[in-house]
Amino acid sequence: MHILSEEPWWSRLYFQVLFAIVIGGALGYFLPEVAIQLKPLGDAFIKLIKLVIGPVIFLTVATGIAGMTSLSQLSVTTGKALAYFFVVSTSALVIGLVVANLVRPGEGMGIDPTSLDGAGVSSYVGKAQEQEMIPFLLAIIPDTFVGAFTGGQILPVLFIAVLFGLSVAGLGDSRPSILLGLHRVSESFFRMVSILMRFAPIGAFGAFAFTIGKYGIESIQNLAALVLTFYATSSIFIALVLGSIAWFSGFSLWRLLNYLKEELWLVIGTSSSEAALPSLMKKLEQVGCSKSVVGLVVPLGYSFNLDGTNIYMTLAALFIAQATGIDLSLSEQLLLLAVAIVSSKGAAGVTGSGFIILAATLAVVPSVPVAGMALILGIDRFMSECRAITNLIGNAVATIVVASWEGALDRNRLDSSLRK
């Protein structure tokens, strides 16, 4: 008797998450008062996932580095990853700038800058002022070893993971036994991730119901041009830029997106790319990327390769200028671009970083009023989903590309995994 080993479609995680999003959206639209009360479901799921992000990153990075035969490979891999991030993330900023000048979504709104109430964005401005480069760099070094896991930031965990991995790599006869222990603990944490992901539909249901119930579809009507322009620009960036990079690297972006469909739907439901980080790392290893490359590139990418956030920054900045009747010269736009390149790295890993980075950028470019951010505060939740999806796809592509450059990619496994 032939028994089908493939699980039924209705039991697959991506379908359950998609179904939960649809039901949550309907509830938010028809019963907004009830939907708003479901916010704790989404918050609880994200907290559960964040609970394991630190240990997963630490174990993946430490195990990968400890198992390296040549430690010089570490600096080379990191250098290539950062160079890739700089080029691609800068291209995202430029594309946002170009599209904003061509489409001009804010033109004709005629809003008086003095009439804007900046109280709603004051908290973001305050956080932006805290994100200066030197304090940011110092914050990478945690106060204590355990403090790296309790601060909620990725880079301190990555820092101590690299140090620990280097320490284990320098050991003699005890190195294999420690590596074996790290592998077994790592397997336990990834098993924990698999268990927690079973609650993803509940989290997506609560988060999406709250978003629709709280902000409503009607909240995007007046700013539909900006929302549509941002989604279209991000789609073009994914298709043309990331698609071309994937093609030149020998794999299909579309098959990769199908392979990561569970993570993509989860990001749409929760508006958080962090919710999919542990499972993304696991899948990239399964697709043929070495553990050491995954452990370095993915955490770094979540901090320094924010393609969707970068598109949003320049597009939103020019939208505010156009809406308030401010005509930025070419030199002012180039200044905006230069500041954005720096500020997008200085606020790395900060919760709600898209809005915070935008505030930090506008604070340095006096031509555009920071209070103008109040215009887009109401639709930021809807735009955050597109930012998070683009960021996740960009980091998945970056990891495979860097692994390919380093000769740390199993091409046969990649092809077979993406063809399923």
Q: How confident is the model at residue 348 (pLDDT cuts 50, 70, 90)?
A: very low
Q: Has residue 9 got a pLDDT over 90?
A: no
pLDDT at 353: 63
CA–CA separation, 224 and 154 (whole Å): 34
Q: Has residue 118 got a pLDDT over 60?
A: no
User: Ramachandran region of residue 171, left (φ > 0), alpha (ψ -120 to 50) or beta?
Assistant: beta
Give the model confidence (pLDDT) of 403-416 as tens digits: 999 999 999 999 99
CA–CA separation, 104 and 255 (whole Å): 34
Average pLDDT score over residue span 380-392 = 87
pLDDT at 397: 97
Pair 294, 277: CB distance under 8 Å: no
108 three-class SS: coil
Q: Has residue 119 got a pLDDT over 60?
A: no
Average pLDDT score over residue span 20-36 = 93
11-14: long-range contacts at Cβ-Cβ below 8 A with a sequence spacing of 24 or more?
12/262, 13/197, 13/198, 13/200, 13/201, 13/262, 14/261, 14/262, 14/265
pLDDT at 169: 84
Give the model confidence (pLDDT) of 42-88 as tens digits: 999 988 988 898 899 899 889 888 877 666 777 888 899 999 999 99
Residue in the block written with tokens 């322009």: 229
Structure tokens at 235: 């789609």
Q: Has residue 130 got a pLDDT over 60?
A: no
Pair 89, 307: CB distance under 8 Å: yes
Average pLDDT score over residue span 216-228 = 77
pLDDT at 410: 94
Residue 312: what residue type?
Y
Give the model confidence (pLDDT) of 309-344 as tens digits: 899 989 999 998 998 888 888 888 988 888 888 777
Query: CB neighbours (10 Å) of residue 239?
Result: 12
Residue in the block written with tokens 């380093």: 406
Q: How confident is the model at residue 125 (pLDDT cuts 50, 70, 90)?
A: low
Q: What is the mean pLDDT of the chain?
A: 85
382 vs 327: which has the higher pLDDT: 327
The pTM of this model reads: 0.85
Q: How confident is the model at residue 352 (pLDDT cuts 50, 70, 90)?
A: low
Q: How confident is the model at residue 368 (pLDDT cuts 50, 70, 90)?
A: confident
Q: Above pLDDT 90, what percent of the chain?
A: 41
Q: How confident is the model at residue 3 (pLDDT cuts 50, 70, 90)?
A: very low
CA–CA separation, 323 and 309 (whole Å): 20
Pair 142, 159: CB distance under 8 Å: yes
Residue 378: what residue type?
G
CA–CA separation, 238 and 76 (whole Å): 27
pLDDT at 7: 66
CA 214 from chain center: how many Å? 23
Average pLDDT score over residue span 122-150 = 72
Partnered with residue 409 across adjacent β-strands are 289
Structure tokens at 15: 């379908």
CA–CA separation, 295 and 54 (whole Å): 12
Average pLDDT score over residue span 172-185 = 88
Measured over the CA atoms of residue 76, residue 82, residue 88 and residue 91, the dihedral's sign is negative
Helices 39-66 and 175-197 pack at an angle, to 10 degrees, of: 160
Q: Above pLDDT 70, what percent of the chain?
A: 89
pLDDT at 201: 93
pLDDT at 345: 65
**Domains annotated on the chain, with CATH:** 9-418 (1.10.3860.10)
Measured over the CA atoms of residue 249, residue 187, residue 206 and residue 303, the dihedral's sign is negative
Q: How far is CA 420 from CA 256, 259, 314, in A?
A: 10, 8, 38
